Structure 1
Amino acid sequence: MKYELQALPYAADALAPKMSETTVNLHWGKHVQTYINNLNGLIPGTPFEDASLEEIVKKAEGPIFNNGAQVWNHTFFFWQFAPKPAASKPSGALAAAIDKSFGSFDAFKEQFTKAAVTLFGSGWAWLVKKEDGSLGIVQESNAGNPLKKGLVPVLTCDVWEHSYYVDYQNRRADFVATFWELVDWSVVEKRY
């Protein structure tokens, strides 16, 4: 199977000024394309040659995992945004699960923001659904993905420097604060 860079569900400039067109073009158009190119070069002749990205994330190790997981993670990340999200917070079953697991949406946001801002080095903060249906927040370094631990990803924040340095320089906390303004909760609710 040969992987290809998908077209985003919105224009590259649609998230500006919260996420600039330059950042989207570099992050999605160049950075993710490199992961795809690397993955396509690594999988021929391996057990992952015809595997889905999810299978690669769950079963691969080393460079195949790193590149495959980064393609999966970034697709998940960019597809959860909308230029003008319909709601500023979740509703329905997801809202109830957040309240049950964290006490309130504001408490969840505070804990998730802390996880994203305090992750040492590069990686991802994730909202995940556990086997018992409850929600949790996990930090994953580098290409880490909670699928590998049997968890269901619901929401993620990319805190690799390439995701925010053009727009926010070293101000990761400012990037994470703006991240909340882009989340399309209807997408996140479907994932839950």
Structure 2
Amino acid sequence: MAFTLPELTYDTAALEPHIDAQTMGLHHGKHHQTYITNLNNALSEHTQLHGLSLQELMKKVGELPENIRTAVRNNGGGHVNHSMFWTIMGPNGGGDATGEVGAAIARDFGTFEDFKKKFNEAGTKQFGSGWVFVTADQAGKLEIVARPNQDTPLMEGKSVLMGNDVWEHAYYLKYQNRRADYLNAWWNVVNWDAVNARFAAIKTGEFI
């Protein structure tokens, strides 16, 4: 079964003024769709892989046939990363982390402001295109990691709790070269209820 573009659960203008509607429309409808199209094309003749979920595919990327490995790494990574990205944002978001995620942040990073500072620094220092993620294990231990391009911690067997896209296409129309400003503004659209739902799923052993 071919992979398809997940629908947004909010309007492309819903994250204004922090993420502009034009960027959202292009990012979701064009960039993300291109990753999906390229991924489906790469897998089209490899029917033995068609039963794998997206997460399973990325966990096994190092075992894939060599002629499609790079295409799946780049485009499958783009699909799984963006699919996570849309779900952890929403209108009326922001504020301090809540629930079990808030408690885990306090335990592993100190204050929420300390956590945000470390996350933003990792995103700012990521050279070129990439992502900054928070991973979580089944014990609930959190870690901030940055990865280049569309690489995902799933390829290392780690579950992604949340993450921010620091490719220029995610912010350049509004923020130009001011990646740090974008990273700071992004916290205003984080949906902590959605992040807590991911955390609960990860702790039950589900890779999401």
Q: Same fold by TM (over 0.5)?
A: yes
Aligned to 1:58: 59
Aligned with 2:103 (options 96, 101, 105): 96
CA shift at 1:132, angstroms? Answer: 4.3
Identity between Structure 1 and Structure 2 (%): 39
1:22-58 per-position Cα deviation (integer Å, ceiling 9, x unaligned): 1011100011111111111110222322321111211
Aligned with 2:87 (options 79, 85, 88): 79
Give runs of aligned pairs for residues 1-192 of structure 1, distance below 5 A: 1-46=1-46, 47-60=48-61, 61-85=69-93, 88-130=95-137, 132-192=139-199
CA shift at 1:16, angstroms? Answer: 1.4
CA shift at 1:100, angstroms? Answer: 1.1
1:53-76 per-position Cα deviation (integer Å, ceiling 9, x unaligned): 111211123111211110110010
Range with greater deviation from structure 2 (51-60 or 124-133)? 124-133
Structure 1 residues not aligned, in runs of 5+ = none
Aligned residue for 1:191, secondary structure, equals: helix
CA shift at 1:131, angstroms? Answer: 5.1
Q: Please, what TM-score do these two structures have when normalized by structure 2?
A: 0.88
Aligned residues: 191
In 1, Cα distance between the equivalents of 2:197 and 2:145?
20
Question: Does the 8 Å contact 2:73/2:151 carry over to 1?
Answer: no
In 2, Cα distance between the equivalents of 1:91 and 1:164?
26
Aligned residue for 1:140, secondary structure, equals: strand
CA shift at 1:91, angstroms? Answer: 2.1
In 2, Cα distance between the equivalents of 1:150 and 1:132?
15
Structure 2 residues not aligned, in runs of 5+ = 62-68, 200-208
In 1, Cα distance between the equivalents of 2:101 and 2:29?
31
Q: Please, what TM-score do these two structures have when normalized by structure 1?
A: 0.95
Question: Does the 8 Å contact 1:56/1:69 carry over to 2?
Answer: no
Q: Give the aligned CA root-mean-square deviation in angstroms.
A: 1.3
Q: Which amino acid aligns with 1:32?
A: H
List structure 1 runs of 4+ shifted beyond 6 angstroms: none
